[in-house]
Amino acid sequence: MAETSSIFVGGGGEGYADPQELLLKYANRHGLIAGATGTGKTVTLQILAESLSNAGVPVFMSDVKGDLSGLAVAGTDTHKLHGAFMERAAKIGFSDFSYDSFPVTFWDMYGESGHPVRTTVSEMGPLLLSRLLELSEAQEGILNIAFRVADEEGLPLLDLKDLQSLLVWIGQNAKSLALRYGFVSSQSVGAIQRRLLVLENQGAADFFGEPALDLEDMFHVDADGRGQINILAADKLMSAPKLYATFLLWMLSELFETLPEIGDPEKPKFVFFFDEAHLLFDGAPKALVDKVEQVARLIRSKGVGVYFITQKPADVPEDILGQLGNRVQHALRAFTRKDQKDLRSAADTYRENPRFDVEDAIKEVGVGEAVTSFLLKKGIPGMVERTLIRPPSSQLGPITSKERRAVVATSPVAGKYETALDRESAFEMLAQRAEAAAKAAEEAEAKEDELEAREREYQTGRRYSGTRVKRSTSKTKTRKRRGDSVGEAFAKSMMRSLGTKTGTALVRGIMGSLFKAR
């Protein structure tokens, strides 16, 4: 690994001979890669990952189309674009261009195309989970109650069945909980359960559980000092866009919460590429957007750079867009009035270049060409340039399934996450409580039956004891019968009802409530 202070992105200026570089010192000031479909965003993402890895910086990116898997294999001179690559490298002055492979670790939420990646329900938290489930304000309130109850009752929430069983418990104890937390609607609990069922059908059951992802496993540096490139297989995951966006946001939040403050390092500690960023912000509540803005604002001092990849800069809220100092803008197509407005807005965010009109340049750049602007010394935005993006050193396009399996088998975390764990948590604990309550109810029922049998035996013994019973007046008999109807008759009726199914349910209900109240 050669020591360097910058990343060569491409050539700009007259004849494309002026190097356009991303300074590593400012790579944690975040960035934007934008452009219409088919304009070269994926290749730009690929060459940035290569260069950061060579500089010893681990990165994370999601692979929506499968093309980024080529980072694990070196390009070859037999590729159909070899001649074009060599010609472009010579044109932009990229004399160090050569083919090479990079240290790649594949991850997959479903465990099919990479190492399984999981987190627990507790780590996800009520805010992100509410966003994932698209809950109303009232439903989100109940979810917050569930997390609070789990903490107070010592009930670990690890997987979906833990949360589902806890919601059942909350529904059964809604009245007692309402005194402390407020009204708990059974309809809202049912609505959350239905959303969890939909999420489970989308495959989220594979995501929630243990062993949970240890973020340190994404920070590996190989023997040559090159940073690990973590690639999340997202082709299948994209069929559940909310789950995809929430997972990436969870990762970003975890980085923010676990990494220490390091100020302004000479190079980033980690770079996070957020592909299809519009999925994060589409319909997002203000609380979530504020959370993302806070993370983007503060995570820089922890040495993490965040790069949003999307089609239009307008997909990113202005408050967040203003924090993205490094820009690579591929071509935008302006067919409609809204497209034209978005184009003007994108052009207005750049520092003008007197040699060309930025708006025209964004419309005119071809595939593999972009309008770029990178931060200069002291963090000043660089002048916008039309830039030819350098060719990739790794394979352009996806690798074979056999090659992927070989990479997975030899990765630093091989075997660590493949086997799922199911330790005792809320589901098992609540089941044990229910079983204990049922057992206590059965014992209480047995004691009542025994008492009733003894009472019958005692009464039978009195009947045949031979003791002469004095004759009583009719008035006395009437009074005694009335006493029986108020006291003993009620007790006998109650004991008879306990012998029925209804009585059994009544005892179990009473004992269950007492048990749960403890």
The domain boundary residue, chosen from 380, 410, 440: 410
Residue 438 three-state SS: helix
pLDDT of residue 462: 61
Nearest partner of 389 among 406, 371, 401, 411, judged by Cα:
371
In a domain, 46, yes or no: yes
pLDDT given for residue 511 in this prediction: 37
Give yes or no: residues 223 and 241 share one domain. Answer: yes
Distance (Å, rounded) from C-alpha 165 to C-alpha 142?
Answer: 14
Quick one: 130 and 68 in the same domain? Answer: no
Q: Does the residue 153 lie in any domain? A: yes
Q: Is 394 helix (H, G, I), strand (E, B) or coil?
A: strand
How far is residue 344's CA from residue 239's CA, in Å, rounded to a whole number? Answer: 32
3-state helix, strand, coil in the chain (%, to 5): 55, 15, 35
Give domain status of residue 451, yes or no: no
DSSP letters, 10-27, are EEESGGG-EEEEEEGGGG
Domain assignment present for residue 494? The answer is no
Q: Residue 357 contacts by C-beta under 8 Å, 6 or more apart in sequence?
A: none
Q: Which two tokens stand for residue 168?
A: 């059942």
Q: What is the pLDDT along the chain (518 residues), one digit of tens a residue?
A: 556 899 999 999 988 999 999 999 999 999 999 999 889 999 999 999 999 999 999 999 999 888 999 999 999 999 999 999 999 999 999 998 999 999 999 999 999 999 999 999 999 999 889 988 989 999 999 999 999 999 999 999 999 999 999 999 999 999 989 888 888 999 999 999 999 999 888 888 889 999 999 999 999 999 999 999 999 999 888 888 888 988 898 999 899 999 999 988 999 999 999 998 988 888 777 877 888 888 888 999 999 999 999 999 989 998 899 899 999 999 998 888 888 888 898 898 899 999 999 999 999 999 999 999 999 988 899 999 999 999 999 999 999 999 999 999 999 999 999 999 999 999 999 999 888 888 888 888 888 878 877 777 777 766 555 555 455 554 444 444 444 544 454 445 444 544 444 444 444 333 333 334 44
378 shares a domain with 236 = yes
Same domain, 139 and 151: yes
| Structure tokens, 239 | 């069929």
**Domain limit, last residue, from 157, 188, 206:** 206
Angle at 180 between CA 192 and CA 171, to 5 degrees: 30
Instruction: State which residues form the domain around 288.
Output: 6-117+213-410
My answer on whether 160 and 250 are in the same domain is no
Token pair of 483 as six digits: 């006493």
Residue 226: its pLDDT value, please?
A: 96
Say whether both 109 and 162 belong to one domain. Answer: no
Q: Of 387, 410, 433, which marks where a domain is finished?
A: 410
Based on the fold, state whether residues 72 and 30 are members of the same structural domain. Answer: yes
Residue positions counted in the chain: 518
**Directed axis angle between helix 121-133 and helix 186-201, to 10°?**
100
Whether 48 and 153 map to the same domain: the answer is no
* Closest of 463, 391, 369, 338 to residue 98, by C-alpha: 391
**Residue 186 tokens, joined:** 């059974």
Give SS3 for 119: strand
Same domain for 162 and 72 = no
Same domain, 72 and 11: yes
Q: Is residue 171 part of a domain?
A: yes
DSSP states of 116-184: E--B-HHHHHHHHHHHHHT--HHHHHHHHHHHHHHHHHT----SHHHHHHHHHHHHHTHHHHHHHH---
Q: Are residues 293 and 186 in the same domain?
A: no
Q: How much is the pLDDT for 465?
A: 55
Residues 228 and 352 in one domain: yes
Report how far residue 376's alpha carbon sits from residue 383's, in angstroms, rounded to the nearest whole number: 9
Number of domains in the chain: 2
C-alpha span between 365 and 450 (Å, rounded): 91
502: in domain: no
Q: What's the CA gap between 60 and 53, in Å, rounded?
A: 11
What DSSP letter does each residue of 199-254 carry, written as one string? HHHTTGGGTBSBSPP-GGGG--B-TTSPBPEEEEE-TTGGGSHHHHHHHHHHHHHH
